[in-house]
Amino acid sequence: MQDKVIEELIKAETKRQREGLEMIPSENHTSPDVLKALGSRLTDKYSEGYPGKRYYGGCEVVDKVENLARDRAKKLFGVSHANVQPYSGSPANQAIYFALVDPGDTVMGMHLYYGGHMTHGLKVNFSGTLYNSVQYHTGKDGYLDYEEMADMATREKPKLIFVGATAYPRIFDWKKLREIADLCNAWLIADVSHISGLIVAGAHPSPVGYAHVIMTTTHKTLRGPRGAMILCDGNPSNPLKAVERTPENLPTLIDRAIIPGLQGGPHNHQTAAIAIALREASLPSFKTYGKQIVKNAKKLADELTKRDFELVTGGTDNHLLLVDLTNKKVIGAEAEVALGKAGITMNKNTVPFDPRPPFSPSGIRMGTPALTTRGMKEAQMVQIAEWIDQVIEHRNDDKFLEKIHRDVKKLCKQYPLPGEAKAK
């Protein structure tokens, strides 16, 4: 690389990942094949439109790439239509709003501070400013409050309900959620960005057959590049032609919202990398991987509970844990910094009914996807829980944190990043 400054920064970030435990639940480690596609000449090609309906010439190859990604997505998730062009999750969600509701319409989503996502109606986000957003919450126990959701849907009559989360450690009851949406004839949107890999692996129920539209990013438990997909059933037609907002027209509504509605040319190198990740997710080994993510999360939850950590909902059903640190007399931001010094990366996070502000919350969020990608299992979760406990106890002792980091590095050498050789 001619740009030595950037080259050194890339090396530094790779080293940071190699020598540390990546435990932010929305992060993972991609395969060498995914990385190779991301660095390919496909990035040079403009291809506005869809396969067979491009605005530019020279798209015969990228048409094949996108068709392959779409076909693999449809087969993997069991839907009849897939759009693989969204640049990332937030633009994908914006496209869903654009396709199905009008500015000023009432929409409903899970409040960010209770585990939701900002694009599900947070007031400072486009979804809470362009639309009349009403927000549902969890109960005091941290579980989704389905009764509150039903009451809110009946009272507010939203035209669209977003379901999905960034910090919810339990299973979603898609059947019950569809029944709630049907109370007000609302579109049910499943944002499964965090759990799509678990769904593919059979470690979490699928929303297919219940949600009208499914959105997922491709870089979390699905273990692909940064990107997103929108999935649905229906009968696609010409995306340049306006159609009514009916279930059978969902493919056309979604495609039309992406382009010409919101985006320009798709990122073809990203599409190819998504196609590779979808192939990898179709292999038997991926099912084993997805189920091990949950096993690791449950073991980590058990070990932290033994060490007097207070877990929201008391545990987990998926890939993440949300921990209220109030009884440890430390705030999430302080814990994040101390753990980072020890080579353990996770993020501060609000907990349900948190009395503290979001930039200085009471909790911390952690997950097991990246650890599992490196091959770690339950035995390593025991050690990691012990390190977390020690770091919180000695959070102000930098020398002690450095010692923990040395121990972390020793473990990481035994579990290399994908494509790297095990250290001797």
In Å, the largest CA–CA distance within the chain is 65
Number of neighbours of residue 143 by Cβ within 10 angstroms: 15
CA angle centred on 50, ends 45 and 52, rounded to 5°: 95
Which residues are CB-neighbours of 225 under 8 A, at least 6 positions away?
A: 30, 34, 37, 38, 218, 219, 270, 273, 274, 277
**Mutual orientation of helices 146-156 and 174-183 as an angle, nearest 10°?**
20
Report the amino acid identity of residue 213.
Answer: V
d(CA 50, CA 34): 22
CA angle 142, 199, 297 (to 5 degrees): 50
Active-site residues, by number, are 46, 48, 191, 217, 220, 226
Two tokens, residue 323: 């921990």
Q: List Cβ neighbours of 403 (8 Å cut-off, separation of 6 or more).
A: none
CA atoms of 212 and 135, how far apart (whole Å): 20
Integer Cα distance of 182 and 175 in angstroms: 11
Using the 8-state DSSP alphabet, how is residue 108 labeled?
A: E
Contacts (Cβ under 8 Å, ≥6 apart) of 34: 224, 225, 273, 276, 277, 280
State the Cα–Cα distance between residues 373 and 371, nearest whole angstrom. 5
Measuring CA to CA, how many Å separate 64 from each of 51, 59, 275, 294?
8, 9, 11, 35
Strand partners, 217: 228
- Is-contact 380 371, C-beta < 8 A? yes
